[in-house]
A and B are shown apart, each in its own frame.
Chain A
Amino acid sequence: MNVDLAFLFRFLSSIMVITSVAIIELRDLRRSAYAYMLQSAILSADFSLIAMMTSEWHMYLWTVSSLVTKVLLVPKVLIWATEKTGERIEVKPVLPLTVSFGFEGAIIISLFLVAPFVFPSAESRFPSSIPISLVLFMIGIFGMLSRKCALKQVLCLCHMENGVHLFLASLAYRSPMTVEIGILTDAIAAVVILLYMAIQLKRVVGTLDTFKLSLLRW
């Protein structure tokens, strides 16, 4: 059983890596949103696996709630935002594609190498979940730094949150529900507020290019 689960974890993790790169690299915002949807579905699957392995029933709850919020709500809201602002294709990013890939590859490899030394305890129970969560987090930050479109930045933020949640789940799976509620509300609120600001940005300044934010100055 354990061997199967380990293999399952690794398999799911590799898909998550691919989806994360996809989220960042895809220029079409809708497709990025779908990639995010896929990644979140895998994340929920990860949560259910953890729930099965540790038989903590509130992890099941977290699975369901993350399904609802991350897979259904957030992408829907994001796509609604693309329609509202009218920008489906994002503005060209700072780095060319190959350099971007290079950075991402470097991040992934280095994290996979470093992580087992820093967090040995979780490695045994949920193989490669820690490095994956760190990868998600770092790639999310990288996306935020290298992309100019405001909506893309929101998506990268959600991506980072995925990483944080996975990290939390694999290390603190016994924590009480209040933590989950806090995280959930934080995610939704952040997304809603950020999207509202992005839409207003488009309305006031006319572009979602964050390099042009200084136009907002009074």
Chain B
Amino acid sequence: MIVPCILLILGAILSLLIRNSKICNILINGISAISCLLIIVVGVGGILSRIVLSLPLGLEMGLDSLSSVFCVVLGIVGFSVSTYSIKYMEIYGRMRYYGVSYTSFILAMYLILIVRNAFWFIFFWELMTLSSYLLVVYEDEKEEVRRAGFKYFVMTHIGVACIIAAVLLLYQQTYLIGVPDMSFSSLSEASRSMPSSVLHLCYLLLLVGFLVKTGAVPLHSWLPDAHPAAPSNISALLSGFMIKTAVYAIIRMFFFVLPMEFWCGILLIASGLLSMFFGGIYALKQVDSKRLLAYSSVENMGYILLGIGAGLSLLATGNLILGSIALSAGILHTVNHAMFKALLFLSAGSVIYRTGKRNMDVLGGLGKYMGMTSSLALIGSLSASGVPVLNGFVSKWLIYSVTASSWKIPILPVCAAVAVMISAITGAFLLKYWSSIFTGRPSEEVKECPRLMIAGEAILAVFCFILGVYPMLALLPIVKVSEDLGIKASIIREQLFLGPFLIGPVTISTISLIAVFSFLSLFLLLTFVFLRPSGIKAEPWFCGTRPSALRFQASSYYRNLEEAMRPAYIKIPRITLRKYEEPDTDRFLVKPIVKAFGKISRAILAPAMGYVQLYLALMFLALLLIVGVIIWIS
């Protein structure tokens, strides 16, 4: 279990020592890839049997089914991204910087999943935030990158502050019950004996802290800026795994550590609904390929939060079966989203690698030259749209089924309806993404990407297929998570896997999926038999005009729809410098807080700004004050 950590630390140190940037690149990414394979092994081991390990300094580590599932996902995504990065990072320099940040990023994410102690959890959370910040501002010569990184940094740290506050409140309670340490088990005991108002405050703080990291509306505004700013392999890791660690944290805290509360679930559902809606409709407008994918991440996190929130509310009100299925649906969508979103970001990265452009209005027709990349991007897009046989469909369907069936909580079926509608919007903007970049008349002549990059993407695509056809591969471990919560897995398995249902309203029967797949495979076979006698080749028909005069721009794709949905976009009334109007989502929540904070700070430190000594003096005075107070008390 420790071996990946050691490997990664070794990689970080080695990257500092090696001067040759090419070797350094291969070394770092190679070591990361190997450690990710080890992480997969650890995860699989954890699924098969529990492991607990105790190190000194309170660093207690353990793998239960929740951690193992996430570990396997981290391993798969990390391995694919590292393989991809071996070739991708050639267009960037500064390998030592990259080496330390990248390895510590993966290390931190891995350790967050394993530790059982709140102190170390926050420590590694901070490490993850810092290293991801360093990676986001990789190209810090560009001003927009720096700004995006800064916004990301500040927002996540406010989140971390909330989390620390909540943990400290809980920790203080552990003193009162006599087990003063920060491990999850003692925090759990402490929370049961806490006064309810303080406990609710803790819940709220934790929610805010984790929702910022998840990229849930209204705390999502860092996501669409940070993902395009980062190099594409980092965006893939950010979207593919980092926002999922927040989901892991939410499940860990709200289901396992703290007693389950109904209204927390409702808050999660509400933010999930908002994220789905806003993520989807803003994604329709985007012209920057990575920004579109970033909004798509926001939308998919909405689905995940919907599933998990539904699970929480249902479990809290006693619907054990539905609740655990909802939770499993949320976790399954987490797994699936990691796969296809990482794939999509890597494909966007391939395009940048060869053309250097992100603007979909300018790109076009690259599928002619980049056939493999185009097919892989297609698999990612179809998977995200929820086409059966690919993995997105299974988890989305499961979420819809559960929420539509839980009519005891009135908001949930409405959420299901909205979710289905948003799913159509997903298909729409992913069509825009894929066809603007890969179809049409070629904008420039490029070569196909190196094989290693395709290999990285291909691994993820294979998993998309596998999880689409045989979702039980992921669902069986996920169901074990509910088992850990105390619900008998056998009931759930009955509901999910074996034919007609008894009382609960949700099933996926294996027969149906196999039937679907066998039909499709039969037809694909027939396709390839019939494809041979192909017809005459001809130019596409342009209604008689010159082909060079026609290009269907990405920005014109959904003009009418955007017009019809104008009230839904919270718009600023002026046209920004960008080519498209960018809705200002920060207006209601983030900007007023920032303004107030700025005013307060300026008022306090107005006379002398920027002198280190003054800050030191103030800190020292504060220290004296605290010491004096302590002495006076004792």
A–B proximity contact (CB within 8 A): yes
12 contacts across the A-B interface (CB closer than 8 A):
A94-B613, A118-B631, A141-B620, A144-B616, A145-B616, A145-B620, A146-B613, A210-B611, A210-B613, A213-B611, A213-B612, A214-B610
Give the 8 A-B CB pairs with smallest separation, nearest first: A214-B610, A145-B613, A210-B612, A145-B617, A141-B620, A144-B616, A145-B616, A211-B611
The answer, yes or no, to whether B146 is at the interface (CB within 8 Å) is yes
**Beta-carbon contact of A141 and B610 below 8 Å:** no
Chain B contacts for A146, CB-based, 8 A: 613
How far, in Å, is B179 (CB) from chain A's closest CB? Answer: 23
Chain B contacts for A213, CB-based, 8 A: 610-612
Contact with B along A185-218 (1 / 0, CB 8 A): 0000000000000000000000000110110001
Chain A contacts for B611, CB-based, 8 A: 210-211, 213
Q: In the bound complex, what is the Cα–Cα distance between A94 and B612 (angstroms)?
A: 13
Interface residues of A (CB under 8 A from B): 94, 118, 141, 144-146, 148, 153, 210-211, 213-214, 218
Chain A contacts for B616, CB-based, 8 A: 141, 144-145
Q: In the bound complex, what is the Cα–Cα distance between A153 and B611 (angstroms)?
A: 13
Chain B's closest residue to A153 (CB) is B612
How far, in Å, is B353 (CB) from chain A's closest CB? Answer: 28
How far, in Å, is A185 (CB) from chain B's closest CB? Answer: 14
Chain B's closest residue to A141 (CB) is B620
Chain B's closest residue to A150 (CB) is B612
Chain A contacts for B612, CB-based, 8 A: 153, 210, 213
Q: In the bound complex, what is the Cα–Cα distance between A109 and B631 (angstroms)?
A: 21
Interface residues of B (CB under 8 A from A): 143, 146, 609-613, 616-617, 620, 631
How far, in Å, is B502 (CB) from chain A's closest CB? Answer: 59
Q: In the bound complex, what is the Cα–Cα distance between A36 and B612 (angstroms)?
A: 23
Chain B contacts for A211, CB-based, 8 A: 611
**Beta-carbon contact of A144 and B613 below 8 Å:** yes
Q: In the bound complex, what is the Cα–Cα distance between A36 and B67 (angstroms)?
A: 51
How far, in Å, is B593 (CB) from chain A's closest CB? Answer: 23
Chain A's closest residue to B608 (CB) is A211
Chain B contacts for A153, CB-based, 8 A: 612
Chain A contacts for B609, CB-based, 8 A: 214
How far, in Å, is A179 (CB) from chain B's closest CB? Answer: 13
Specify which of B146, B609, B620, B631 lies most central, judged by the most chain A CB atoms within 10 Å of its CB: B620
How far, in Å, is A194 (CB) from chain B's closest CB? Answer: 12
How far, in Å, is B586 (CB) from chain A's closest CB? Answer: 21
How far, in Å, is B229 (CB) from chain A's closest CB? Answer: 15
Chain B contacts for A218, CB-based, 8 A: 143, 146
How far, in Å, is A52 (CB) from chain B's closest CB? Answer: 31
How far, in Å, is B194 (CB) from chain A's closest CB? Answer: 33
How far, in Å, is A121 (CB) from chain B's closest CB? Answer: 15
Q: In the bound complex, what is the Cα–Cα distance between A187 and B620 (angstroms)?
A: 20
Chain B contacts for A145, CB-based, 8 A: 613, 616-617, 620
Q: In the bound complex, what is the Cα–Cα distance between A214 and B614 (angstroms)?
A: 13
Chain A contacts for B617, CB-based, 8 A: 145
Q: In the bound complex, what is the Cα–Cα distance between A148 and B610 (angstroms)?
A: 13
Chain A's closest residue to B623 (CB) is A141
Chain B's closest residue to A144 (CB) is B616
Chain B's closest residue to A138 (CB) is B620
Q: In the bound complex, what is the Cα–Cα distance between A218 and B146 (angstroms)?
A: 9
**13 further interface pairs, Cβ-Cβ under 8 Å (given A141-B616, A145-B616):** A118-B631, A141-B620, A144-B613, A144-B616, A145-B613, A145-B617, A148-B613, A210-B612, A210-B613, A213-B611, A214-B609, A218-B143, A218-B146
Q: In the bound complex, what is the Cα–Cα distance between A210 and B616 (angstroms)?
A: 12
How far, in Å, is B350 (CB) from chain A's closest CB? Answer: 31
Q: In the bound complex, what is the Cα–Cα distance between A177 and B612 (angstroms)?
A: 34
Chain B contacts for A118, CB-based, 8 A: 631
Chain B's closest residue to A214 (CB) is B610
Chain A's closest residue to B609 (CB) is A214
Q: In the bound complex, what is the Cα–Cα distance between A144 and B631 (angstroms)?
A: 26
Q: In the bound complex, what is the Cα–Cα distance between A167 and B631 (angstroms)?
A: 17
Q: In the bound complex, what is the Cα–Cα distance between A118 and B634 (angstroms)?
A: 12
Q: In the bound complex, what is the Cα–Cα distance between A146 and B613 (angstroms)?
A: 7
Chain B's closest residue to A215 (CB) is B610
Q: In the bound complex, what is the Cα–Cα distance between A210 and B608 (angstroms)?
A: 13
Chain B contacts for A214, CB-based, 8 A: 609-610
Q: In the bound complex, what is the Cα–Cα distance between A118 and B630 (angstroms)?
A: 12
Q: In the bound complex, what is the Cα–Cα distance between A218 and B137 (angstroms)?
A: 13
Chain B contacts for A210, CB-based, 8 A: 611-613
Chain B's closest residue to A146 (CB) is B613
Chain B contacts for A94, CB-based, 8 A: 613
Chain B's closest residue to A210 (CB) is B612
Chain B's closest residue to A211 (CB) is B611
Chain A's closest residue to B619 (CB) is A141
How far, in Å, is B41 (CB) from chain A's closest CB? Answer: 32
Chain A's closest residue to B56 (CB) is A178
Chain A's closest residue to B614 (CB) is A145
How far, in Å, is A24 (CB) from chain B's closest CB? Answer: 14
Q: In the bound complex, what is the Cα–Cα distance between A210 and B613 (angstroms)?
A: 8
Q: In the bound complex, what is the Cα–Cα distance between A26 and B612 (angstroms)?
A: 21
How far, in Å, is A149 (CB) from chain B's closest CB? Answer: 12
Chain A contacts for B631, CB-based, 8 A: 118
